[in-house]
């Protein structure tokens, strides 16, 4: 199962939107490989006909009523923005470079 | 005896009877923090002025005969992972260093409504990932019993401040043992309630299906008092349970007649520190002397718990932490530098005629994400995000994530079967005592394996408590873990209280703190 | 499936429609869904995706989605759950969209449409699934001082959407447009969405490729997804353009399905063409996982049945009934139904009162609709109650009102907001007695010997001048009667 290459790790880093240095890539490749090697222990468990368990407590049908509640004033919503123009959050242009 | 040494229960009586004021108490704790915390590093943020103002307000209301909440005037420390609109909430991460939540976590709101005095924000492993509190972006927290050692984690600050008498009560969170393990390593009581018992709204998520908020204190009675204040249904949390919360602290003293205590065959394997094994066996004998019957049980899938946990928790974490992208809040990289670097790189590639390189070069936005996240997160957080991203990615989902969800059910079924035979399960909290600072930093897998006794309760959603049950020869605390079926917190607390009444481990103080109070 | 005869290929189209459900508040928080607010004034910690916040499912959103799915003849599984679809985009603040992946709330339905090749023949278009999910926010390009930025508005973030995915059962751009019209009709009938494309409450993406014959083998061209279509007309135009483009490319390259990866192209309305959109390879790995913050929903077959019973008459059944009971043409029935439930109700009230569905349909589809359009009114605003229009029709049937003056009466009823009788009275319209009419005609014949001579000489059209004179003397005369009486008298004299 686990033959994790440095190239795999690079791809995962892009998926995870992390910029890793060369040194970090090396360490990460080794450590992830080691951890995944341990996790491969799960392969020996027979899970035929076992339903996956995504929640610790298996509740159903929890709803809220469709009721408008006050929103944040815009200045409070934007208060934590790293960069904004008083109307919206600003980021480098989404289209093109 | 100094005020800081009293239990919350005793302090409450002193406050109610008017023998002390909240101002006096708060000031005494602030002094204690002033004396020890430069060295121990339990707190990330103290707002003494606000705490004293709040204490004064409660004292006034008490003098005026106004109705007060159940924690009126009692200082409580809060792990820096629960949002509080009155101050910073950083998760011990550079990512959230300047974050100011515009809302209160439900637990924080309940503490405020109970008239507690929120004395400060405690240190933790960044985003609650880790078991040593060494993964804080801001500071190291030291174990009060031996400042050369870790306090455990991720709620290391929460356990340390209680052990070092800097707060009678503190709030921690537990995803794989993050309350119970530091409680065990610091010689205090720590409890993870049933999943869904305490609202997660405003708790900054690590792994949503495992995270629970819980109390740390020096006695089970104090833990019960804090738990009954924060527990209960919350419409803002769809996973919160709509069941009544018993008044734990009121019926705590009733011992469990005919208690059937289970010990797990698989727990006493190689790797368990002999002094811990010895302490646990003695604790079991104490129960026997109190009339409990002891039964050996098996949890056949317990050996897979750590592997299961280290797939599910990082997977959920990789998703929960995707929101930290430097767009709407949190750390963002220096954009002008980023553009300059990208331009330089592009020119380089163009000059070299490297078409493939140009095609693969991040655009400005992608690079902004990648750098913001790389700068904002520490190594342990990055490791778990990478692990989780990998486990969820195309081609690996079934072998890792889905497989782990299935084994999780088997682990839960083991417990369901076991609780058909016994009322409580006793076990160690950790296989070893607090290790030295820096000792495990380069060996994440070894560090993960330390969680083997605690993660199952999170996977299965069970309530579980850690309480002091002895010391090693070097005076390092040893914790006893008790586990109960879902929603049986009261059974757990009564069982713990029985033991506590019969022993005095919980009364010991770290030498560091004890010396100062000698002769006071 | 009929082939489009004019092309040497079959166009195969599947549509993906996102419909905003008509809730007051967002899918997982209490923020308003009202359109048109100032940027970032309808957000809260939950929809901004702030650390620590949790979603709680809006009950109405699920109910509306369920109602729609049942009306689309979908199977409703007893168990459905919520998944996170993960990708990074600045208008997606959590880094994932809460959606449904492997266990959607509804699957396997269909919508019946009229085949454009064989008008009004029913054609069943399969619905693969319809699932509930949250909308993202909006990025607006913002050029300030030479620096290209995008401004993010999160007002839309968390708005409830129903994603409806059709089978690739559509065989022409025209059929696709009809499918969308029929879908919109159904949704507005159900009241689950206002389907306003300008405000983004209905958005369409299309997947299209061609099936054709090459060397005796049936082959398919690579599938292209088209985005950015802002009206149903644009959908049709974009699909027409894309089909011919794919055929051209096929002729040039011979590239088949599987030989090229799925491409995404954007429709440029002004230029009338589609252009390739940039997409990174890795972007397709969404790393779905069950959302641990939300719990599953169970729906029993009994609940589904109860909702099905409560739906009432859906547009396709209504259309069939109007044709059957009112003896209407398919065309007229469609015109009525396409205007929505309120107009149909109005029509039905008129038809019932005047007891002449066919004439009622003519009036409603012609005069009423024309006036509504000219006056920019909705049927709810029309000042002529259905009974009054029925009275007008009744008056014509009773011969109290010459058909030629009916429109005049109708206009006055509208302008002055009065009844038919009042309008008839105000215009001085009264029935002309037969003997009076004959006397009047005789008078005209006597006074116009030249015309009489022309008529007798075979120029019958000369009688027209007498009709004009008759109307001047008495505006209530029926021109047809005047004509026939005058002709008769002229021949006799
Ligand atoms: Mg979608
Ligand atoms: Zn909101």
Q: Which domain holds residue A10?
A: 6-43
Are C452 and C340 in a shared domain?
A: no
3-class SS of residue C9: strand
Contact list, A18 vs chain B (CB under 8 Å):
370, 373-374, 377, 382, 385-386
3-state secondary structure at position C385? coil
Which residues on chain B are in Cβ contact (under 8 Å) with A96?
363
pLDDT of C430 > 80? The answer is no
**CA atoms of B363 and B29, how far apart (whole Å):** 52
Judge if the upstream peptide bond of residue B154 is cis by omega within 30 degrees of 0: yes
Cα separation values, B270 from A35, B267, B512, C474, Å: 20, 9, 33, 118
Tokens 């003896």 correspond to C327
In a domain, C92, yes or no: yes
- Whether residues C270 and C324 share a domain: the answer is no
- Catalytic, B154? Answer yes
* A17: nearest CB among C57, C88, C153: C88
Are residues C297 and C320 located together in one domain of the fold?
Answer: no
Q: Is B105's CB within 8 Å of C52's CB?
A: yes
Residue of B nearest to A72 (CA): B102
- Asked whether residue A18 is assigned to any structural domain, the reply reads yes
Distance in angstroms (rounded) separating the CA atoms of residues B220 and B506 = 9
Q: How confident is the model at residue C320 (pLDDT cuts 50, 70, 90)?
A: confident
Note the pLDDT of residue C3. Answer: 42
In a shared domain, residues C396 and C487? no
Provide φ and ψ at A25, rounded to 5°: -60, -40
Q: Picking from B166-170, C4-8, C335-339, C423-427, which range would have the lowest pLDDT averaged per residue?
A: C4-8
Residue C34 domain flag: yes
- Same domain as C18, residue C41: yes
Q: Which residues of C are less than 8 Å from B83 in CB distance?
A: 50-52
Contacts of B269 (CB under 8 A, 6+ apart): none
User: Can you state the percent helix, strand and coil of chain B, rounding each to 5?
Assistant: 45, 15, 40
CA C476 vs CA B104, C244, C363, C393, C421: distances in Å? 80, 60, 22, 17, 15
Active-site annotation holds for B251: no
Per-residue pLDDT tens digits for C39-79: 999 999 999 999 999 999 999 999 999 999 999 999 999 99
Q: What does each C-alpha distance from C254 to C12, C249, C290, C293, C296 come to in angstroms?
A: 18, 7, 42, 49, 47
DSSP string, B212-262: EEEEEESSHHHHHHHHHHHBS--TT-TTS--SPPP-HHHHTTS--TT-EEE
DSSP structure string for C408-467:
HHHHHHHHHT--HHHHHHHTT--PPPHHHHHHHHHHHHHH-HHHHHHHHTT-GGGGHHHH
Confirm whether A28 is domain-assigned. Answer: yes
In this structure, what CATH number is given to the domain that contains residue A36? 1.10.20
**C152 and chain B in contact, CB less than 8 A:** yes
Average pLDDT over residues C282-293: 87
Rounded Cα distance between C152 and C137, Å, is 7
Does residue C324 share a domain with residue C261? no
Number of C-beta neighbours around residue B504 at 10 A: 9
**DSSP per residue, B159-212:** HHHHHTTS-SEEEEEESSSTTHHHHHHHTSEEEE--TTSB--TTBPPSSTTT-E
- pLDDT band per the 50, 70, 90 thresholds, residue C4: very low
Q: Which residues of B344-365 are buried (b: 16+ CB within 10 A; e: fewer)?
A: eeeeebeeeeeeeeeeebbbbb
B79 carries an active-site annotation: yes
Domain assignment present for residue A89? The answer is: no
Whether residue C69 is found in the same domain as residue C126: yes
pTM for this prediction: 0.91
Which H or E element spans position C213? strand C202-214
By CB atoms closer than 10 A (0-12, 13-18, 19+), residue B340 is exposed
Q: How many residues does chain C have?
A: 493
Cβ atoms of residues B64 and B5 within 8 Å: no
Which pLDDT does position B40 carry in this prediction?
A: 98
**Cβ proximity of B127 and B207 under 8 Å:** no
Pair C419, C457 in one domain = no
A76 found inside a domain: no
Residue B1 has a CB neighbour count (10 Å cut-off) of 8
Check residue C488 and give its pLDDT: 86
Report yes or no on C5 lying in a domain: no
- Whether residues C450 and C421 fall in one domain: no
Per-residue confidence (pLDDT) for residue B517, from 0 to 100 = 52
Bridge partners of residue C164, in order along the sequence? C17, C130
Overall average pLDDT of the C241-245 stretch: 96
Q: Do B325 and A36 count as a contact with CB atoms less than 8 A apart?
A: no
Per-residue CA distances from B77 to B162, B428, C421, C429 (Å) = 9, 26, 83, 91
Same-domain status, C297 and C317 = no
Q: Is residue C228 situated within a structural domain?
A: yes
Same domain, C89 and C118: yes
Q: Taken in order A49, A50, A51, A52, is the CA torsion positive or negative?
A: negative
Handedness of CA B109, B111, B117, B122 (dihedral sign): negative
Contact C191, C311 (CB under 8 A): no
Q: Does some domain include residue C308?
A: no
pLDDT at C447: 87
Q: Do B209 and A56 touch (CB under 8 A)?
A: yes
What is the Rg, in whole angstroms, of the alpha carbon atoms belonging to chain C? 31
Q: Which candidate from A17, A60, A95 shows the least CB-CB separation from C295?
A: A60
A25 and chain B in contact, CB less than 8 A: no
Q: pLDDT band at C114, cuts 50/70/90? A: confident
C106 CA from centroid of ligand 1 (Å):
14
pLDDT at B223: 98
HSE-CB for B459 with a 13 A CA cutoff: 33
Which pLDDT tens digits describe chain B residue by residue (520 residues)? 799 999 999 999 999 999 999 999 999 999 999 999 999 999 999 999 999 999 999 999 999 999 999 999 999 999 999 999 999 999 999 999 999 999 999 999 999 999 999 999 999 999 999 999 999 999 999 999 999 999 999 999 999 999 999 999 999 999 999 999 999 999 999 999 999 999 999 999 999 999 999 999 999 999 999 999 999 999 999 999 999 999 999 999 999 999 999 999 999 887 899 999 999 999 999 999 999 999 999 999 999 999 999 999 999 999 999 999 999 999 999 998 998 999 999 999 999 999 999 988 988 999 999 999 999 999 999 999 999 999 999 889 999 999 999 999 999 999 999 999 999 999 999 999 999 999 988 889 988 989 999 999 999 999 999 999 999 999 999 999 999 999 999 999 999 999 999 999 999 999 888 765 543 3
Which site among C53, C62, C141, C286 would you substitute to test the B interface, given the most B Cβ atoms closer than 10 Å to its Cβ? C53
**Which chain B residue is nearest to residue C57, measuring alpha carbons?**
B238
Q: Which of C274, C302, C330 is the last residue of a domain?
A: C302
The number of domains in chain C is: 3
Domains of chain B: 3-255+496-518 (3.90.1300.10), 325-376 (no CATH)
Query: Over chain C, what is the mean pLDDT?
Result: 91
Assess C94–B contact: CB distance below 8 Å, yes or no: yes
Check: CB of residue B436 under 8 Å from CB of residue B481.
no
C3 in a structural domain: no
**Does residue C369 register a pLDDT over 50?**
yes
Helix and strand numbers (H, E) in chain C are: 16, 17
What does the pLDDT read at residue C473? 83
Domain count, chain A: 1
Are residue C163 and residue C88 in the same domain, yes or no?
Answer: yes
Ligand 2 center–CA C33 separation, angstroms:
9
Residue A58 is assigned to a structural domain of this protein: no
H-helix segments, A5-83: 6-15, 22-39, 74-77
Give the nearest chain A residue to C300 (CA atoms): A61
Query: A91, C90: Cβ pair inside 8 Å?
Result: yes
Disruptive mutation site among C39, C87, C293 for chain A (greatest number of A CBs within 10 Å): C39
Query: Domain residues for C378?
Result: 313-426
Provide the 3-class DSSP secondary structure of residue C390. Answer: helix
Contact between B319 and C86 using a beta-carbon 8 Å cutoff: yes
Report which of C142, C133, C183 is spatially closest to residue C160, judged by C-alpha positions: C133
Helices C464-473 and C434-447, axial angle in degrees (round to 10): 120
- Using CA atoms, how far apart are residues B472 and C359, in angstroms rounded to an integer? 100
């Amino acid at each position: 199962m686990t033959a994790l290459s440095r190239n795999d790790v690079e791809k995962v880093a892009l998926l995870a939107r992390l910029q890793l240095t060369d040194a970090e890539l090396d360490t990460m490749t080794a450590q992830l490989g080691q951890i995944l090697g341990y996790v491969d222990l799960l392969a020996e468990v027979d899970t035929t006909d076992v339903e996956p368990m995504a929640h610790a407590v298996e509740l159903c049908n929890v709803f809220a009523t469709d009721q408008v509640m006050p929103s944040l004033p815009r200045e409070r919503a934007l208060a934590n923005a790293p960069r904004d123009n008083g109307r919206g959050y600003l980021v480098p242009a989404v289209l093109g470079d | 005896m100094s005020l800081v040494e009293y239990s919350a229960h005793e302090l409450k009586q002193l406050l109610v009877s008017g023998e002390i004021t909240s101002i006096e108490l708060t000031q005494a704790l602030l002094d204690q923090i002033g004396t020890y915390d430069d060295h121990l590093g339990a707190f990330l943020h103290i707002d003494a002025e606000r705490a004293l103002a709040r204490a004064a307000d409660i004292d006034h209301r008490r003098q005026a005969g106004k109705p007060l909440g159940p924690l009126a005037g009692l200082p409580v420390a809060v792990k820096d992972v629960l949002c509080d609109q009155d101050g910073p909430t950083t998760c011990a991460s550079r990512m959230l260093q300047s974050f100011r939540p515009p809302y209160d976590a439900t637990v924080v709101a309940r503490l405020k409504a109970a008239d507690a005095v929120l004395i400060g924000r405690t240190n933790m492993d960044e985003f609650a990932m880790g078991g040593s509190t060494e993964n804080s972006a801001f500071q190291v927290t030291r174990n009060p019993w031996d400042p050369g050692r870790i306090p455990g984690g991720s709620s290391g600050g929460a356990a340390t401040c209680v052990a070092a008498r800097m707060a009678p009560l503190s709030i921690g969170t537990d995803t794989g043992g993050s309350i119970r393990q530091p409680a065990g390593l610091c010689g205090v009581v720590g409890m993870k309630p049933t999943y869904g018992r305490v609202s997660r709204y405003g708790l900054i998520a690590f792994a949503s299906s495992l995270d629970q908020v819980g109390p740390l204190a020096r006695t089970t009675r104090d833990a019960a008092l804090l738990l009954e204040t924060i527990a209960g249904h919350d419409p803002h949390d769809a996973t919160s349970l709509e069941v009544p919360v018993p008044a734990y602290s009121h019926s705590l003293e009733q011992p469990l007649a005919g208690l059937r205590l289970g010990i797990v065959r698989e727990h006493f394997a190689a790797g368990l520190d002999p002094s811990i094994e010895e302490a646990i066996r003695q604790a079991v004998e104490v129960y026997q002397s109190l009339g409990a019957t002891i039964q050996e049980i098996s949890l056949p899938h317990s050996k897979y718990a750590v592997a299961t946990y280290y797939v599910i928790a990082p997977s959920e974490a990789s998703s929960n932490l995707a929101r930290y992208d430097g767009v709407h809040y949190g750390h963002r990289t220096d954009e002008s530098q980023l553009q300059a670097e990208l331009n330089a790189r592009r020119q380089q590639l163009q000059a070299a005629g490297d078409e493939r390189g140009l095609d693969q070069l991040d655009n400005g936005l992608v690079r902004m994400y990648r750098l913001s996240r790389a700068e904002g997160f520490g190594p342990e957080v990055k490791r778990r995000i990478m692990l989780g991203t990998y486990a969820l990615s195309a081609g690996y989902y079934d072998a890792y994530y889905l497989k782990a969800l299935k084994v999780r059910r088997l682990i839960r079924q083991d417990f369901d079967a076991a609780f058909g035979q016994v009322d409580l399960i006793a076990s160690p909290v950790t296989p070893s005592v607090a290790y030295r600072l820096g000792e495990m930093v380069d060996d994440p897998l070894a560090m993960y394996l330390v969680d083997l006794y605690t993660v199952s309760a999170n996977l299965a959603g069970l309530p579980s408590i850690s309480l002091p049950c002895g010391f090693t020869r070097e005076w390092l605390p040893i914790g006893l873990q008790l586990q109960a079926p879902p929603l049986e917190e009261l059974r757990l607390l009564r069982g713990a209280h029985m033991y506590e009444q019969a022993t005095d481990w919980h009364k010991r103080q770290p030498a560091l703190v004890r010396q100062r109070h000698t002769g006071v | 499936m009929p082939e489009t005869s004019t092309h040497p290929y079959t166009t195969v189209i599947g549509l993906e429609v996102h419909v905003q459900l008509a809730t007051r508040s967002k899918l997982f928080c209490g923020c308003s869904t009202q359109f048109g607010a100032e940027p970032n004034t309808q957000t809260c910690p939950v929809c901004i995706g702030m650390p620590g916040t949790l979603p709680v499912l809006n009950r109405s959103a699920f109910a509306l989605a369920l109602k729609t799915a049942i009306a689309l003849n979908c199977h409703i599984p007893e168990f459905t759950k919520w998944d996170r679809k993960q990708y990074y985009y600045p208008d997606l603040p959590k880094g994932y969209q809460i959606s449904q992946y492997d266990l959607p709330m509804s699957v396997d339905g269909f919508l019946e449409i009229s085949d454009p090749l064989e008008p009004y023949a029913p054609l069943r278009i399969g619905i693969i699934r319809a699932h509930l999910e949250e909308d993202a926010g909006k990025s607006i390009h913002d050029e300030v001082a030479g620096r290209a930025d995008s401004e993010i508005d999160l007002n839309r973030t968390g708005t409830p959407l129903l994603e409806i995915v059709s089978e690739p059962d559509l065989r022409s751009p025209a059929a696709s447009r009809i499918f969308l019209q029929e879908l919109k009709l159904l949704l507005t009938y159900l009241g689950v969405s206002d389907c306003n494309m300008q405000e983004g409450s209905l958005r369409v993406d299309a997947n299209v490729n061609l099936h054709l014959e090459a060397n005796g083998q049936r082959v398919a061209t690579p599938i292209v997804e088209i985005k950015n279509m802002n009206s149903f007309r644009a959908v049709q135009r974009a699909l027409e353009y894309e089909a011919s483009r794919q055929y051209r490319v096929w002729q040039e390259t011979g590239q088949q399905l599987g030989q090229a990866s799925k491409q995404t192209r954007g429709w440029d309305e002004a230029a009338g063409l589609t252009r390739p959109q940039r997409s990174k390879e890795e972007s397709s790995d969404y790393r779905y996982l069950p959302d641990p913050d939300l719990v599953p929903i169970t729906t029993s077959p009994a609940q589904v049945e109860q909702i099905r019973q409560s739906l009432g008459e859906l547009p396709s059944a209504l259309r069939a009934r109007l044709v059957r009971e009112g003896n209407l043409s398919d065309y007229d029935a469609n015109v009525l139904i396409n205007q929505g439930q309120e107009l149909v109700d109005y029509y039905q009230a008129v038809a019932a009162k005047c007891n002449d569905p066919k004439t009622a349909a003519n009036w409603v589809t012609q005069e009423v609709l024309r006036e509504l359009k000219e006056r920019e009114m909705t049927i709810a605003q029309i000042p002529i109650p259905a009974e009054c229009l029925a009275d007008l029709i009744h008056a014509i049937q009773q011969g109290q009102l010459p058909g030629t003056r009916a429109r005049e009466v109708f206009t006055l009823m509208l302008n002055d907001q009065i009844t038919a009788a009042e309008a008839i009275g105000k215009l001085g319209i009264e029935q002309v007695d037969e003997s009076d009419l004959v006397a009047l005609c005789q008078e005209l014949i006597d006074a116009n010997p030249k015309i009489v001579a022309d008529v007798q000489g075979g120029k019958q059209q000369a009688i027209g001048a007498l009709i004009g004179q008759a109307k001047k003397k008495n505006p209530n005369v029926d021109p047809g009667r005047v004509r026939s009486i005058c002709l008769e008298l002229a021949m006799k004299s």
